[in-house]
Amino acid sequence: MTRRLVATDYGSPAQVLSVIDADDPVADDGHVVVAVAAAGLNPFDVKRVRGVMSSDPSALPLAIGGEAAGTVAHAGSGTGLAVGDRVAVYPVSGAFAEQVVVDAAAVHPIPDGASTEAAAGLLLAGVTAYDTVATLDVGADDVVLVHGGSGAVGSVAVVLAAARGATVIATASSTNHDYLRGLGAIPVSYHGDLAAAVRDAAPDAVTAVIDTVGTDAAIDASLQAVSPDRIVSIAAWGRADDGIVLLNGSSEASRANRRAAVAPLLDALADGTITVDIVGTFSFDDAAQAFDALDGPHPRGKYLLTP
Ligand SMILES: NC(=O)c1ccc[n+]([C@@H]2O[C@H](COP(=O)([O-])OP(=O)(O)OC[C@H]3O[C@@H](n4cnc5c(N)ncnc54)[C@H](OP(=O)(O)O)[C@@H]3O)[C@@H](O)[C@H]2O)c1
């Protein structure tokens, strides 16, 4: 049997999360069973459990978890993988399980130098960040404003934009400003007059915006700086009428960016260009604590769940 964390209803994680025993998954041709060492928790998981995305009763019990890492437990033929290989799994549905079965295309060997735990929390946010930077075609002449630069997505976006030679300005709480400087960004607080703070901090006019926050304050300040087609957001779904570019991996271009991102992100993790700091690790039995922590103001870093 394999332990799985599911939501038996939509609502408060403490009330609806449950650990169940399910049959061991089986790998057919082209598929792989991965023994999960750790799985990354993301805001999307919290929103799904709370019923923000959908409250369809027919989807219950809800399989949750969008990324994980561990070792290959069984490899179907034609996968090129072997039992014991250290791998990251993304994309996947139901990653919060002792074992998951996935298409081999979603199983990525973890290079030496990258820890399994960091790999478990890298890819979902990382491919999203890569998609934002690629969509804007950020270059050395750009001055990029990143809203939420201390977050899981924002921090990778800062690193990737800076690596392309852009000047990066990033918003965060003041406790995270030294961290942003370490990533190569000019930090700005998101409290107060955001547009004025960005103008004061930017050495030259902003040419592109990556929004990972989605607040009206972030979008309004961005629209004062650049035209809507230079604002990419992964969170401001209520502002589509402003003509900004919204990304969620659903378009062919966005999907292609995200596929292309996986190998360079894992290499960057291995060579230390990108780091994933783990702020807390919780067993499936204590998972509601991690869900509640991520749902409010929380320290920087990823929460991991372990079987
Ligand atoms: N569309 C997609 O494909 C996609 C993919 C992944 C994630 N997302 C979404 O993107 C968002 C960010 O995800 P994440 O994993 O990066 O989250 P995260 O790690 O929790 O980061 C949140 C960031 O937002 C900042 N922040 C918090 N409250 C703020 C406010 N009122 N104003 C401005 N900034 C604020 C935080 O800064 P401080 O902590 O420094 O205050 C932090 O930098 C979530 O809504 C998630 O669902 C979308």
Q: How far is CA 180 from CA 159, 173, 205, in A?
A: 10, 10, 20
Are 90 and 136 within one domain? no
In this prediction, residue 203 carries a pLDDT of 85
Domain annotation covers residue 169: yes
pTM for this model (two decimals): 0.98
Domain annotation covers residue 254: no
Tell me, using a 6 A CB cutoff, whether residue 249 lines ligand 1.
yes
In this prediction, residue 10 carries a pLDDT of 98
Tell me, using a 6 A CB cutoff, whether residue 25 lines ligand 1.
no
Residue 105 C-alpha to ligand 1 middle, in angstroms? 28
Domain annotation covers residue 269: no
Q: What is the mean pLDDT of each run of 10 residues along the chain (307 residues)?
A: 97 98 93 98 98 95 98 94 97 98 98 98 98 98 98 98 98 98 98 94 95 98 98 98 98 98 98 98 98 96 98
Tell me, using a 6 A CB cutoff, whether residue 222 lines ligand 1.
no
Residue 236 C-alpha to ligand 1 middle, in angstroms? 11
Task: Domain count for the chain, please give it.
Answer: 2
Q: List the domain range (segments joined by +) for residue 227.
A: 128-246
Residue 148 C-alpha to ligand 1 middle, in angstroms? 6
Domain annotation covers residue 266: no
Domain annotation covers residue 181: yes
Are 45 and 157 within one domain? no
Return the CATH number at 152.
Answer: 3.40.50.720
Return the CATH number at 45.
Answer: 3.90.180.10
Are 301 and 216 within one domain? no
Are 211 and 290 within one domain? no
Are 117 and 145 within one domain? no
Tell me, using a 6 A CB cutoff, whether residue 215 lines ligand 1.
yes
Residue 138 C-alpha to ligand 1 middle, in angstroms? 21
In this prediction, residue 201 carries a pLDDT of 94
